[in-house]
Amino acid sequence: MRTLSVIVPCYNEEDNIRLFYNELMKNADFFEEKELVPEIIYIDDGSKDSTAAEVRALAGEDSHVHLISFSRNFGKEAGLYAGLKKSTGEFIVTMDVDLQDPPSLLPEMLGYIEEGYDSVATRRVSRKGEPPIRSFFARKFYKLINRMSKTEIVDGARDYRLMTRQFVDAILSMPEYNRFTKGIFSWVGFETKWIEFENVERAKGETKWSFWKLFLYAIDGIVAFTTAPLAIASFMGVLFCVLAFVLIIVTIIRKLVFGDPTSGWPSLVCIISLVSGVQLFCLGIIGQYMSKTYMEVKNRPIYLIKEEF
């Protein structure tokens, strides 16, 4: 018998806990045929509703159900990390509890693992049911980060991924505080098979991601996986130095040839505002990296557990 660990981060998902379990267990015959024992680990990410109670009730009926309850909301990335750490299975799959990651794909995914792939990742090919501006910015983000980073971040990639033990151990060997899982999955390497599916709308409840949260997450991703913005800041510094040098020469020559010292106040204002804008922008970029470094150096735990079984 082999174990398949199913890792499900949940935040205020009381209505979805049982729904997810039932949907997953539609694969029960398949698990049996493949001699797989499921180990379902729900991570209650500091929910304010009865998510934990739902999981406890479910665990009373099926001993394969486990719970990690955080002391507060630490974010999905922390949930995934905690789940991967607790998992004991030979195969490990991470998925959302809202059924946007259809459990019916599991047999196909396991097939690829048996073919020798180290992980099977999924990406949705449509963004049906999502607000158009969100899709627009999401696309732009993936274009931007892939142009800047050597680590490939796939557009539309979900955190729905089936992995071998070896792959998971590689991920666990990265204990960084700022966890951008989409990048980490790609950074560790190994052979990954991509499968595609149409976007599914969430079963119950609402998305936990506001536009602002997604924007901050995008910046986290860029800062975590590329230092290109720092290079851009340096490049702008050099560019403006050259520009300033040319301007100095022009001004001196103009003064010597035309004797025209006082006019030019408007252009001066423009130059000063532009240059100080660029300076603040570059300072901001440096600040982003500094703040991330600060958080890493503090070495705080990624999550704190209140209850676990």
Applying CB under 6 A, which residues contact ligand UDP?
9-11, 13, 45, 73, 75-76, 79, 96-98, 100, 202, 207-209
Q: Which is nearer to ligand UDP, 11 or 21 (CB)?
A: 11
| Contacts (Cβ under 8 Å, ≥6 apart) of 224 | 176, 178, 179, 180, 183, 292
Q: Which is nearer to ligand UDP, 117 or 185 (CB)?
A: 185
Among 16, 27, 87, 100, binds Mg ion (CB under 5 A): 100
Q: Which is nearer to Mg ion, 11 or 187 (CB)?
A: 11
97 contact choice in ligand UDP, Mg ion, none (CB below 5 to 8 Å, kind-dependent):
ligand UDP
73 contact choice in Mg ion, ligand UDP, none (CB below 5 to 8 Å, kind-dependent):
ligand UDP
Shortest Å distance, C-beta 14 to Mg ion:
15
34 contact choice in Mg ion, ligand UDP, none (CB below 5 to 8 Å, kind-dependent):
none
Please report, to the nearest 10 degrees, the dihedral formed by the alpha carbons of residues 282, 283, 288, 290 taken in order.
Answer: 130
Among 13, 14, 98, 159, binds Mg ion (CB under 5 A): 98
Q: Which is nearer to ligand UDP, 125 or 242 (CB)?
A: 125
How do strand 36-44 and strand 192-197 relate by DSSP bridges?
Answer: unpaired
Q: Which is nearer to ligand UDP, 156 or 232 (CB)?
A: 156
DSSP letter for 109, please. Answer: H
Q: Which is nearer to ligand UDP, 139 or 255 (CB)?
A: 139
70 contact choice in ligand UDP, Mg ion, none (CB below 5 to 8 Å, kind-dependent):
none
Say whether residue 122 binds Mg ion (CB under 5 A).
no
Rounded to 5°, the CA angle 81-82-87 comes to 100
Q: Which stretch binds Mg ion (CB under 5 A): 88-96, 144-152, 254-262, 290-298?
A: 88-96
Shortest Å distance, C-beta 291 to ligand UDP:
20
Helix (H) or strand (E) holding 50: none
Which whole-number Å values give the CA distances from 297 to 106, 290, 294, in the listed order?
Answer: 39, 10, 5
The 179-208 site mask, x for binding Mg ion (CB under 5 A), equals: -----------------------x------
Residues 16 and 97 sit within 8 Å (Cβ to Cβ): yes
Closest CA to 236 of 285, 292, 273, 272: 285
Question: How is 209-270 classified by DSSP, letter by letter?
Answer: --HHHHHHHHHHHHHHH--HHHHHHHHHHHHHHHHHHHHHHHHHHHHHHH---S--HHHHHH
Shortest Å distance, C-beta 13 to ligand UDP:
5
Q: Which is nearer to ligand UDP, 112 or 142 (CB)?
A: 142
The residues with which 10 forms a beta bridge, in sequence order, are: 44
Number of neighbours of residue 276 by Cβ within 10 angstroms: 10
Structure-block tokens of residue 91 = 């195969």
179 contact choice in Mg ion, ligand UDP, none (CB below 5 to 8 Å, kind-dependent):
none
CA separation for the pair 170, 25 (Å, rounded): 29
Residues that bind Mg ion (CB under 5 A): 96, 98, 100, 202
